[in-house]
Structure 1
Amino acid sequence: MAIGWRTAMRAALYGSDGFFVRTDERPSDHFRTSVHSSPLFAGAVARLVQWMDEALGHPAAFDLVDVGAGRGELITALLRTLPEELAGRVVATAVEVAPRPEGLDPAVRWRRDVPEGVTGLLVATEWLDNVPLDVLETDGDGRLRKVLVDPATGAESLGAEADPADRSWTSRWWPQAGRVEVGRHRDVAWADAVGAIERGAALCVDYGHVKAERPAFGTLTGFRQGRQVPPVPDGGCDVTAHVAMDSVAAATGLPHRMLRQREALRALGVDGSRPPLEMAWTDPGGYLRALSAAGAAAELTDPAGLGGHWWLWHSVGLGDHGTMLW
Structure 2
Amino acid sequence: MKTGWRAAMQSGLYGPGGFFVRAGQGPADHFRTSVHASPLFAGALLRLVERVDAALGRPRTFDLVDVGAGRGELLAALRPLLPERVRLTAVEVAPRPPGLPGGIAWRHDLPEAVTGLLVATEWLDNVPLDVTDLDDAGRQRKVLVDPATGAETLGGPVDAADLFWLRRWWPAAGRAEIGWPRDAAWADAVQRVRRGCALAIDYGHLRDERPALGTLTGYRGGRQVQPVPDGSCDVTAHVAMDAVAAAAGVPYRLVHQREALRALGVDGARPPLDLARSDPAGYVRALAAAGSEAELIEPGGLGGHWWLLHTVDVDRRGSMLL
Q: TM-score range by the shorter chain?
A: over 0.9
Deviations 1:88-125 (A, max 9, x none): 10111100000000011221111111111211000000
Match for residue 286 of structure 2? 290
Distance 1:16 1:292 in 2: 42
Segments of structure 1 that go 5 or more residues without pairing to the other structure are: none
Q: What SS class does the counterpart of residue 136 from structure 1 fall into? A: strand
Deviations 1:45-76 (A, max 9, x none): 00000011111111111011000000001111
Match for residue 170 of structure 2? 174
Distance 1:260 1:60 in 2: 32
Deviations 1:183-230 (A, max 9, x none): 000000000000001100000000000001000000000011101111
Match for residue 5 of structure 2? 5
**How far does residue 246 in structure 1 lie from its aligned partner after superposition?**
0.1
Which residue, out of 266, 269, 274, partners 2:265?
A: 269
Match for residue 317 of structure 2? 321
Which residue, out of 192, 196, 205, partners 1:196?
A: 192
Match for residue 154 of structure 1? 150
Alpha-carbon contact 1:44-1:265 (below 8 Å) kept: yes
Q: What SS class does the counterpart of residue 60 from structure 1 fall into? A: coil
Which residue, out of 252, 255, 258, partners 2:254?
A: 258
Which residue, out of 205, 212, 229, partners 2:208?
A: 212
Distance 1:225 1:170 in 2: 33
Distance 1:323 1:144 in 2: 41
Look up the equivalent residue of 1:304 and give its one-letter code: G
Let me know the Cα RMSD of the aligned residues: 0.9
**How far does residue 318 in structure 1 lie from its aligned partner after superposition?**
1.1
Match for residue 51 of structure 2? 51
TM-score norm. by structure 2 comes to 0.98
Which residue, out of 236, 239, 253, partners 2:235?
A: 239
More displaced stretch, 275-284 vs 306-315? 275-284
Match for residue 77 of structure 2? 77
Alpha-carbon contact 1:316-1:322 (below 8 Å) kept: no
**How far does residue 81 in structure 1 lie from its aligned partner after superposition?**
3.0
Q: What SS class does the counterpart of residue 312 from structure 1 fall into? A: strand
Alpha-carbon contact 2:6-2:129 (below 8 Å) kept: yes
Deviations 1:247-269 (A, max 9, x none): 00000111110000000000000
Distance 2:316 2:88 in 1: 26
Alpha-carbon contact 2:55-2:315 (below 8 Å) kept: no
Alpha-carbon contact 1:136-1:145 (below 8 Å) kept: yes
> Segments of 4+ in structure 1 off by > 6 A?
none
Alpha-carbon contact 2:20-2:93 (below 8 Å) kept: yes
Change (3 A) 1:285 1:60: same
Deviations 1:25-59 (A, max 9, x none): 11100000000000000000000000111111111
**How far does residue 162 in structure 1 lie from its aligned partner after superposition?**
0.4
Q: What SS class does the counterpart of residue 133 from structure 2 fall into? A: strand
Deviations 1:262-313 (A, max 9, x none): 0000000001111122322221111111011000100000000000000001
Distance 2:51 2:67 in 1: 20
Distance 2:228 2:126 in 1: 14
Alpha-carbon contact 2:38-2:292 (below 8 Å) kept: yes
Q: What SS class does the counterpart of residue 17 from structure 2 fall into? A: coil
Match for residue 35 of structure 1? 35
Distance 1:320 1:142 in 2: 49
Q: What SS class does the counterpart of residue 88 from structure 1 fall into? A: coil
- In the TM superposition, 1:92-171 aligns within 5 A as 92-171=88-167
Look up the equivalent residue of 1:58 and give its one-letter code: R
Distance 1:124 1:80 in 2: 21
Segments of structure 2 that go 5 or more residues without pairing to the other structure are: none
More displaced stretch, 159-168 vs 106-115? 106-115
TM-score norm. by structure 1 comes to 0.97
